[in-house]
Amino acid sequence: MDSALIPEGAKRCSFPKFTIGIAIVGAVLLWGVFAMFLCWFKGLNQTNMNDYYGFALWIWADLAVIAVGGGAFFTGLLRYIFKIDELKNIINFAVIIGFICYSSALLILAIDIGQPLRGWFIFWHANVHSMLTEVAFCLSAYFAVLTIEFIPNILENRQVNKVPFFHHLAHNMHGVMAVFAATGAFLSFFHQGSLGGVAGVMYGRPFAVREGLLIWPWTFFLFTWSAAAFGPCFTLLVTRITEAVTGKKLVKDNVIHLLAKISGWMIVTYIIAKIIDTIYWAMVTAPSLGFTLSHFYSNNGFYGYWILIAEIVVCGIVPGVLLVMKSTRENPTLRLVAIILGTIGVCLNRWVMVLQIMAVPVMSFDTWALYFPSWQEIATTILPVAYGIILIAVAYRYLPVFPQEQELNPVEPVTE
Amino acid sequence: MKQENNNAHKFGMVIDLDKCTGCGSCMVSCMSENNVPFKEDESNKKDSITWMSVYKLTNGKSFPDTEIAYLPRPCQHCGGKGDHGHSPCVSVCPAVATDYGYDTGIVSQIYTRCFGCRYCMGACPYHARYFNWWDPKWPEGMENYLSPNVSPRMRGVVEKCSFCYHRYQAARDVAYYEGRDDIEEHEYQTACTTACPSGAIVFGDLNNPAHKIHQIVKPDPHPDPRNKHVIGKSRNPKVFRLLERLGTNPKVYYLSEREWVRKQGDSYLDGEWDKIKNHHGTSSHG
């Protein structure tokens, strides 16, 4: 039925099967959309947030999708600026994942603010001292860059590409893509960093506050670094999931191994920096404010030392080492374990840097505050996942996302 | 932007915790004065709006040694690190919806500017900021009791104690009408101050030596030699501020004869309190 739109020489499932799959995920998406409208029309009383948890699940989701979406800017940087040519075979997909992540982040922010119609105030009445202002500007600008990076791939659709103008436009956009990749890397450095700065500058919160360089707390650099380190893990993970769902090999192993190796070294260097930061904070910063490390990890029903060990050791050192060592990196199972742990690790870091900050009591007579999100918060957080699955499914079906697909999966000629 | 003004006020408050009975009059008067909306069920204190909130402190000892103190907590109107006006909340608000008044020291909240991101709430360690999770509603007929001098807030924005700023404006209007340049101490008093039956709250200008608050607090204008971010540390050994060590520089001070109460103002490592409990503003040693 839609065969004219499918890339030439590529094999896709039947249209009814595709439609059923989209409908199932679409139902989840509609559930999220329903919850989104409830929040917009009835207000944020639909959530379980409160005055202790002004930042909660949504801000974590924002930080997490932007961190894992970091694969787009970092892969683009490696491909176009550092000229690592093999990565051209995964860059399209990295850009699509980034596009999904950043559009999701913007959508979640639009739900999260109490007065959505005033969202533009952040640009119009910008406070240059606020990290959130920098986030808003750079995030929006980078989303525009990602859109520009995604357009040539869309124009390569079999039918669209028949139009000479679109064909040439796509070709010329590819030619200048290095400029956008550089712009994207620049913008990402700042907004990933500012998201880390959001926590690091909160000097009223000893769990969050960090010293730093000039106006930037150390969390600024750690967030950028971790996004560049773990973002490719997520790109690899989604590629692996896509390969499992489609039952096809889509990217050659040498490309996967290369990106995994780069990610591994980034994770190892990041985790060393993270450990130094944690030790300095625990031994110097927090004690100078009257707090011991145990204050942040005890006397409550959820946050214990386990979360620190899980983030730094299990989901930091372990995936880093697994991806750096050739034998484990090239073992498909161990590589999968590493990229799953890495993705969990960066999400856990963002969780800690949002929700644990809110949970820890600061005044000596205050108490821990724990929170569980409402179904509306959960549904609106799952909404971007459903949207992402649908966009990837549509893009994979109709666009030449993986340049090596046909080489890896030759279609046998039909003999009649 | 910081504005140098030698005639600037620095309004603040000192609360005598030995006089406070925890009656809650300050909370009630504040809600009434400032048109604070309320819910049918206010049992969940984490999503109810109370610009002035009273905390219960205990010395942690069992009977018969148990002691109790009540600590009223309005917005602390922090001057921020070095007292430059970069309060924890003001510095993070992305839309300048909360601002620092260099002529008064008061941290304002501009309700029509706030778009409800709640970053300020996360940054405030005192939980002095409240979000309007619901539309403001009052029982039928009660709208008639609302103060015409204070605008009610809409759903989806943050609000907090303003040190009854409308009273300051009213006092200035009177002074202007009478041809005076400035206002008298008694002309500008917050609702909680006037409502407190035991006189535990003293409000005034920390910069004015004639004001009672200045005489009680004796604020040290120099940076604390132990922490350069701390300005305005009290030279009165019985006076302390909440979380002074963080460098937030609140303008709300607390007074107590009881050492265990003063100790609860900050967190201390083991043995630290005994070393620094007698450290007050520098001039007290001079």
| pLDDT per position as a tens digit, B7-26 | 799 999 999 999 999 999 99
Among the partner residues A43, A116, A366, nearest to B133 by beta-carbon distance: A43
Each residue's pLDDT tens digit, A140-185: 999 999 999 999 999 999 999 999 999 999 999 988 988 998 898 8
Q: Would you state the pLDDT for residue A258?
A: 96
Average pLDDT of span B116-141: 95
Domains and CATH numbers, chain A: 3-408 (1.20.1630.10)
Average pLDDT of span A264-285: 97
Average pLDDT value for chain A: 94
Each residue's pLDDT tens digit, B251-278: 999 999 999 999 999 999 999 999 888 8
Average pLDDT of span A2-29: 93
Among the partner residues B46, B115, B267, nearest to A115 by beta-carbon distance: B115
| Confidence band, pLDDT 50/70/90 cuts, at residue B50 | very high
Task: Determine the residue of chain B that is closest to A198 in CA distance.
Answer: B92
Is residue A335 scored above 90 in pLDDT? yes
Average pLDDT of span B35-45: 88
Q: Would you state the pLDDT for residue B286?
A: 36
Q: Is B134 on the interface with A (CB under 8 A)?
A: yes
| Chain A residues whose beta carbon lies within 8 Å of the beta carbon of residue B88 | 202-204
Q: Would you state the pLDDT for residue B113?
A: 96
Q: Would you state the pLDDT for residue A185?
A: 87
A51 and B246 within 8 Å at the Cβ level: the answer is no
| Chain B residues whose beta carbon lies within 8 Å of the beta carbon of residue A131 | 92
Q: What is the dihedral of CA A226, A231, A232, A236, to 10 degrees?
A: 130
Q: Would you state the pLDDT for residue A144?
A: 94
Does the domain made of B11-285 have the CATH classification 3.30.70.20?
Answer: yes
Q: Would you state the pLDDT for residue A123?
A: 95
Q: Is B54 on the interface with A (CB under 8 A)?
A: no
Residue type at position A123: F
Q: Which of residues 35-54 of A touch B (CB under 8 A)?
A: 43-45, 49-54
Each residue's pLDDT tens digit, B184-222: 999 999 999 999 999 999 999 999 999 999 999 999 999
Q: pTM for this structure?
A: 0.94
The alpha carbon of residue B198 is apart from the nearest alpha carbon of chain A, in Å, by: 23
Is residue B282 scored above 90 in pLDDT? no
Q: Is A406 on the interface with B (CB under 8 A)?
A: no
Q: Which of residues 151-210 of A touch B (CB under 8 A)?
A: 198, 201-206
| Chain B residues whose beta carbon lies within 8 Å of the beta carbon of residue A50 | 44, 46-47, 133
Of A174-178, A342-346, A377-381, which gets the smallest average pLDDT?
A: A174-178
| Confidence band, pLDDT 50/70/90 cuts, at residue A215 | confident
The alpha carbon of residue A125 is apart from the nearest alpha carbon of chain B, in Å, by: 5
| Confidence band, pLDDT 50/70/90 cuts, at residue A414 | low
Q: Is A129 on the interface with B (CB under 8 A)?
A: yes
